[in-house]
């Protein structure tokens, strides 16, 4: 675990002056979690928020029948549970460590004191919240308006963008976890992977996915093409 905090890697705090960063560092606490350990549960009192320092965290909801829907997977530099800092309520979802990880915890009461003295930090956080809202809007749109092949194609295009346009990308999560992100079962997801492979859109080798036909993948993501 790193002993120093790379503030430049945290968009929430970029652009702040050294004195502001020192004030933030003085109120934050490091918390370590083991893989699969619960960080918070839906309904827990939100007395602060977290920023991922190392590792990854999944945030998810459970349906009444126990079905899990992953809302987002957060990695280094990303905040988790920041909305209750403004709302002062409970966490609206569950959070669990995907890896051994270290988080920074910022207590709500002390952070609000900092906001009162320096509103520029609150403006930074509002910008992050606006981007998060856009992400969740896209997630809801994908889950409600797109068929599974389109959702998977969209996800693969996102991985390709993040990799700088490489032909072969690595799944950043297990296929079981990916199924929960896409709102389906692992068995159904495997069938869609096979159909995309049979149509020579992709080639699958464990977690390595090679994009064979970029145009077909984009058409599938946009709903212009369907699988046979």
For residue range 84-105, list pLDDT tens digits in order.
Answer: 666 668 888 999 999 999 999 9
Q: How far apart are CA 5 and CA 129, in angstroms?
A: 22
Average pLDDT, the chain: 84
For position 146, what pLDDT does the model report?
A: 77
**194 neighbors 148 (Cβ within 8 angstroms):** no
Distance from the Cα of residue 186 to its chain's centroid:
20
> If pLDDT is split at 50, 70 and 90, which confidence band does 83 have?
confident
Q: Is residue 26 pLDDT above 60, yes or no? A: yes
Query: Is the per-residue pLDDT at 2 higher than 70?
Result: no
**What pLDDT, on a 0 to 100 scale, did the predictor assign at position 1?**
42
Helix and strand numbers (H, E) in the chain are: 8, 11
Percent of the chain residues past pLDDT 70, beyond the cut: 89
Where would I find the beta strands (DSSP E) of the chain? 29-33, 38-40, 48-54, 57-62, 68-74, 79-80, 94-97, 101-107, 168-170, 202-205, 208-211
Average pLDDT over residues 117-124: 75
For residue 139, pLDDT over 70 is answered with no
**Model pLDDT, residue 54:** 92
Give me the domains of the chain, ranges plus CATH numbers: 7-144 (2.60.120.10), 147-222 (1.10.10.10)
Q: Look at residue 221 and tell me whether its pLDDT is greater than 80.
A: yes
Interatomic CA distance for residues 41 and 196, integer angstroms: 37
């Amino acid at each position: 675990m790193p002993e120093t905090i790379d503030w430049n890697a945290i968009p929430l705090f970029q652009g702040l002056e050294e004195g502001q960063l020192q004030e933030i560092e003085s109120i934050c606490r490091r918390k370590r979690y083991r893989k699969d350990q619960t960080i918070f549960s839906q309904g827990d009192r939100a007395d602060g928020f977290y920023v991922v320092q190392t590792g990854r965290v999944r945030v998810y909801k459970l349906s009444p029948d126990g079905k899990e829907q992953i809302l987002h997977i957060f990695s280094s530099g990303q905040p988790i549970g920041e909305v209750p800092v403004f709302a002062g309520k409970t966490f609206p979802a569950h959070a669990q460590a995907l890896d051994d990880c270290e988080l920074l915890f910022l207590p709500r009461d002390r952070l609000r004191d900092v906001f009162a003295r320096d509103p520029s930090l609150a403006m930074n956080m509002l910008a992050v919240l606006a981007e998060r809202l856009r992400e969740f809007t896209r997630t809801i749109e994908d889950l409600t308006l797109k068929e599974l092949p389109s959702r998977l194609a969209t996800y693969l295009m996102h991985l390709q963008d993040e990799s700088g346009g490489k032909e072969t990308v690595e799944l950043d999560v297990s296929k079981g976890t990916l199924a929960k992100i896409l709102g389906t079962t692992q068995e159904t997801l495997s069938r869609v992977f096979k159909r995309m492979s049979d149509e020579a859109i992709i080639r699958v080798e464990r977690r390595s996915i090679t994009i064979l036909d970029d145009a077909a993948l984009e058409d599938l993501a946009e709903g212009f093409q369907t699988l046979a």
